[in-house]
Amino acid sequence: MLKIHDNYSLKDNTTFGVNIAAAWYAEPTTAEALVFAITHARERNWKYYITGEGSNLLFTGDFEGLIIHPLVKGITVVDDAATEVLVKAGAGENWDRFVAHCVEQQWYGAENLSLIPGSVGAAPVQNIGAYGVEAKDIIAWVEVINTKNMQPEVISNTACGFGYRDSIFKHGEPGKYIVTAVVFSLKKNAPLLLDYGNVKELFIQRGTQDLHNLRETIIDIRNSKLPDPCETGNAGSFFKNPVIAANEFEILRSRYAAAPNYPTGTGRVKIPAAWLIETAGWKGKREGDVGTWPKQPLVIVNYGNATGRQIFDFSEKIRLDILEQFGITLDREVTLIS
């Protein structure tokens, strides 16, 4: 029997650590219990929302519905071939524990995604990415419940519509599919991907050039730049890096010759949002208990008792300022729930 909690504090359920409450809360541990939770909400006309570990969510007020936090666990080998392995992980597994397991087993592919907060189930939704790798590069298929008919379905990598921090689980009909497990295709041997920023230099300094040391290098880089959500509330990058047209970039470059830029190969140019935010004077700025992280201003932090609304208002000031100063609109990476 699934326990449904009333008036449940979500303070420890999001990495922003804001003190808000859900009218109801449940943690189903099987696909069947997940179906039960949704049906329970629908029969009562409650709104419901599915969360992972809350590492990409900002609630701006109490949630007058049922929060469902699936805790479907388990990591199993589905197929073990000569050069690659198919590994299935339950949506409720912690992402970094899954990466650590892959590295211990000498399975290549997930190591650059070390230490990203959140659950396995959130990885395809958000198409999480870091240091030159995205979840889409290693996902074989995603197992879901289709909430139209409450039946299990398998969605192949190509059918997931993956984009930059995007997938069909986010766009299209959000909420149609609920991820119960993800199957990853990992290699038993593969070249290590070292081309992002100073990864290669720091990796070489570490000595032994193996999978384990690459994971440790990524962990060191993340720890040196990004706040630990266990100590300072945050949800990673608050905004996406904007992608602008080539002619807009020329205008930007005429004003800021040193503007960092990454051509996307489609005639458009990606500009680091962190650079825009720093150049606009917001790096390390703090208002009450909300601020931008001094070492990476794309991360907005809760220094203690900030409310979701205060974090949102602060983020909107940044957005407006970037629009005024550069004519560039920043899109949120964080999902807002109001």
224 belongs to the catalytic site: no
Closest CB to ligand EPU among residues 180, 292: 292
Q: CA–CA separation, 83 vs 186, rounded Å?
A: 9
Counting contacts by CB under 6 A, is residue 216 touching ligand EPU? no
H/E segment holding residue 143: strand 139-146
Catalytic residue among 143, 237, 315, 319: 237
Q: CA–CA separation, 237 vs 291, rounded Å?
A: 13
Counting contacts by CB under 6 A, is residue 242 touching ligand EPU? no
Spell out the alpha helix ranges (H) of the chain: 31-43, 95-104, 122-126, 199-205, 211-225, 246-255, 273-279, 308-326
Contacting ligand EPU (CB under 6 A), which of 163, 197, 263, 304? 197
Q: How far is the CB of 121 from ligand EPU (least distance, A)?
A: 16
Counting contacts by CB under 6 A, is residue 131 touching ligand EPU? yes
Contacting ligand EPU (CB under 6 A), which of 170, 188, 240, 285? 240
Q: CA–CA separation, 324 vs 312, rounded Å?
A: 18
165 belongs to the catalytic site: yes
Q: CA–CA separation, 147 vs 176, rounded Å?
A: 5
CB atoms within 10 A of CB 270: 17
Which window, 33-41, 153-161, 237-245, 305-313, contacts ligand EPU (CB under 6 A)?
237-245
DSSP 180: E
215 belongs to the catalytic site: no
Q: CA–CA separation, 61 vs 76, rounded Å?
A: 38
Q: How far is the CB of 56 from ligand EPU (least distance, A)?
A: 7
Closest-by-Cβ residue to ligand EPU is 236
Contacting ligand EPU (CB under 6 A), which of 18, 130, 144, 301? 130
Counting contacts by CB under 6 A, is residue 275 touching ligand EPU? yes
59 contact partners, CB below 8 Å, separation of at least 6: 10, 14, 18, 20, 308, 337, 338
Closest CB to ligand EPU among residues 119, 237: 237
Q: How far is the CB of 209 from ligand EPU (least distance, A)?
A: 20
What amino acid is encoded at 257 in this protein? A
Which window, 43-51, 94-102, 183-191, 235-243, contacts ligand EPU (CB under 6 A)?
235-243
CB atoms within 10 A of CB 150: 15
Residues that bind ligand EPU (CB under 6 A): 130-131, 196-197, 225, 236-237, 240-241, 260, 272, 274-275, 278, 283, 296-298, 333
Q: Which residues are catalytic?
A: 165, 237, 333
